[in-house]
Amino acid sequence: MCGCNADPTAPPAPNRTPSGGSGTCCWCTTHTRNVSRSSADYRTSTQSPPSNKKWHLTVNLPGNQVLVTTVFKWGTIASGVTEAQKTAIKDGLKNRVPAVWGNKFDLKITDATCTPTEKTLPIRFRVLWDDETTIGHHYTANLAVGPATSDITGSNANFDTLDTDDNSYTLCHEYGHTVGLADEYLYRGQTSATVVYKRADGTTESLTLPESGNIMATSGNFVVLKRHLFFVEIEAQELLRSGDGLGKAGITCQVV
Ligand SMILES: [Zn+2]
């Protein structure tokens, strides 16, 4: 017994549960956000105009992970596409995207008013089909017989049956466009281009294309770089600063 009470007859103070502010446990809750915004909020490219991007963010603080979820639904399936090819595309997205994109970098979340003052979580990826989740679909997956052009146009993800070749490289590269990343090679006919990535702290990272040796630059290359995940720190910081998150204006998120 410490004998701390000035008046020994006073009852002990109630064990208060803080309702907000600095007393709130920072790391005890899960925060989610369904994202729909311009790719220009994440990066600009002089060779491609911005477009709207959709995905879902989970910052699971007690579960120790940041999860990027993208939900597809089937759209137009060309005649001649077999059920096996359709299944292979779906499996490629669901299995290869998490393997290639996930657990490459972490998100460090910092706030001086929290105890401890920082937490670092692995950034992971998940691809679902619309019948597997209550999250609405973000993209409609159309499938053509390959060879054909694969791209992300608006909310259409256009794939072909050859996109599972080379360990599903094309699926994994196009996935990068669904979350707003730009190509880091020069399009045919272009002689120069600049991509500028934005960060949550307001700084930028500028590239003069062509780059090489990463998933957004080189066919068959699966290297994911830190800049490719800056979009996660931007969105997570906004979420945790907002009322839907921790409502902490001073909290910062950084891909590390
Ligand atoms: Zn591309």
- Give me ligand 1 centre to Cα 47, in Å: 12
Cα of 41 from ligand 1 centre, angstroms: 18
Of 221, 156, 153, the closest CA to residue 185 belongs to 221
* CA–CA distances in Å: residue 139 to residues 87, 130, 174, 248: 17, 10, 12, 32
Dist. CA 79 → ligand 1 center (Å): 25
CA of 240 to the centre of ligand 1 (A): 31
Place of tokens 């991509």: 195
**How far apart are the CA of 151 and the centre of ligand 1, in A?**
7
How many angstroms separate the alpha carbon of residue 177 from the centre of ligand 1? 7
**pLDDT exceeds cutoff 60 at 241:** yes
In angstroms and rounded to an integer, the radius of gyration of the C-alpha atoms of the chain is 22
Does 21 have pLDDT greater than 50? Answer: no
Give the single-character DSSP code of 187. Answer: P
Give me the pLDDT at residue 25, please. 84
Ligand 1 centroid to residue 203 C-alpha, Å: 25
Domain residues of the chain, as ranges? 29-255
CA 61 to centroid of ligand 1, rounded, Å: 33
CA of 87 to the centre of ligand 1 (A): 23
Q: Which amino acid is at 201?
A: D
Q: What pLDDT sits at residue 57?
A: 98
Give the pLDDT of residue 2. 40
156 C-alpha to ligand 1 centroid (Å): 14
Burial class (CB in 10 A: 0-12, 13-18, 19+), 134: exposed
Residue 195, classed as helix, strand or coil, is strand
The Cα–Cα gap between 15 and 3 comes to 17
What pLDDT sits at residue 87? 98
Residues 6+ apart with CB under 8 A from 43: 180, 181, 182, 195, 196, 197, 198, 230, 231
pLDDT, one tens digit per residue, over 53-99 is 999 999 999 999 999 999 999 999 999 999 999 999 999 999 999 99
Q: How far apart are the CA of 48 and the centre of ligand 1, in A?
A: 10
Distance 55 CA to ligand 1 centre (A): 18
pTM: 0.90
For residue 17, pLDDT beyond 60: no
Average pLDDT value over all residues in the chain: 92
Confirm if 202 and 65 have CB atoms less than 8 A apart. Answer: no
Q: pLDDT band for position 13 (50/70/90)? A: very low
- DSSP code for 214: S
Sort strands 106-110 and 118-129 into parallel, antiparallel or unpaired.
Answer: antiparallel
DSSP 42-82: TEEETTB---EEEEEEEEETTTTEEEEEEEEEEEEE-TT--
Query: Distance from the CA of 37 to the center of ligand 1, in angstroms?
Result: 19
